[in-house]
Amino acid sequence: MKRFTLPRDIYYGEGALGVLKTLQGKRAIVVVGGGAMRRTGFLDKTLDYLKEAGMETELFENVEPDPSVETVMRGAEAMRKFRPDWIVAIGGGSPIDAAKAMWVFYEHPETSFEDIIQPFSFPELRQKAKFAAIPSTSGTATEVTAFSVITNYSKGIKYPLADFQITPDIAIVDPEIAATMPKTLTAYTGMDALTHAIEAYVSRMNSPFTDPLAIKAIQMVFEYLPDSYNGDKNARAQMHYAQCLAGMAFSNALLGIVHSLAHKTGAIFEGDHIVHGCANAIYLPYVIQYNAKGDASRYADIARASGIEGSDDAALVAGLIKKIDDFNVKLSIPKTLKEWGVPEDEFKAKLTSIAKEAVGDACTGANPRRVTPAEMENILKAIYYGTAVDF
Ligand code: FE
């Protein structure tokens, strides 16, 4: 038996945030990040609407980018004290992901972080609270997915947690909230969405339920991301919906080794983290080359659906890769990890362990082509130096 799970309701369109006024409950905790939602007024609106719904509210603020296990545990503690029957997470992927993990430890204080690293092993939720997710960026689609990425900083590893238990009850996809995204974030999150849709379409877990969502999302990203990047309001709104469609697809079809690599390289190098969507954008063309050496047919489907012409599968795949390369240039995304700024000696020193970790990542299982640690090392070398993947 297979399963296809989405939130019970997706409210979308300008002003969709107002649906919060209609929620039934006594207490809502609002989980939010660094301050953008406060500055733009959407946090106050959220709190006002919840009060209009007759709820007592509490704030859990300052969830950091790439949220830590410690932040998750602090949030769960705050929830145990306040006893909310609604968890309302608003912001980028980070506060929403953190709130999903907090939800688990709020409802099940006896559970440890190690207990839930194994995918689809979560205890049952919704005994204490329901969950509403309100994204302010157009990429992670965490508002509709069964995933949460939490970082263990002592190990320098991002853990993708996965279980349909943490698929939100309500997603509010209001383009007014995403209209405030800065340009760079628009590029990175847009390429994250494209990666989600492509990895979902070629995934071993692809299905007739996820394929149309993935293809439509890819078409919309190709059509609207450049204008969205340049600030066009309608294109921004369409990207907000496209990333959500991609999320519905990958939450059910899972992802592949672009994400395995992004998870395992995001926080491992000294200096700045490699922002998730930027990492995906850099890695995607190399992974397509690798996977298409196994079976190119589904990449060829994507190319045809995107209006790319080619006499055979190889030509179609080459056209698709070129299109993605061109997008990266337009969006000022580097072509290699070297160009991004990882020092060569550090890359070489960490290469073997990153490759091994990436093979073990939860996203590797659904990748269409099998990959050994040695092959993963070679993919990483190609990504670092910008060489062809011809193995
Ligand atoms: Fe992603």
State pLDDT tens for residues 238-274. Answer: 999 999 999 999 999 999 999 999 989 988 889 888 9
Structure tokens at 339: 């160009």
- Mean pLDDT (whole number) for 160-174: 96
- What CATH number is given for 9-178 in this structure? 3.40.50.1970
Structure tokens at 281: 């954008």
What digits encode the pLDDT tens for the residues 109-135?
999 999 999 888 999 999 999 999 999
Domains 9-178 and 183-385 share a fold: no
Distance from the alpha carbon of residue 195 to the mean position of ligand 1, in angstroms: 7
Query: Does the domain spanning 183-385 belong to CATH 1.20.1090.10?
Result: yes
- Return the pLDDT at 316: 98
Neighbours of 91 (CB within 10 A): 27
Cα dihedral sign for 214, 216, 219, 225? negative
Structure tokens at 363: 């996203």
Distance from the alpha carbon of residue 19 to the mean position of ligand 1, in angstroms: 27
Q: Where are the domains of the chain?
A: 9-178, 183-385
Nearest-angstrom CA–CA distance, 57 and 311: 60
pLDDT at 156 over 80: no
Surrounding ion ligand 1 within 5 Å at CB are 192
What are the φ and ψ backbone dihedral angles of 281, each rounded to 5 degrees?
Answer: -60, -40
Distance from the alpha carbon of residue 273 to the mean position of ligand 1, in angstroms: 15
Distance from the alpha carbon of residue 86 to the mean position of ligand 1, in angstroms: 26
pTM above 0.75, yes or no: yes
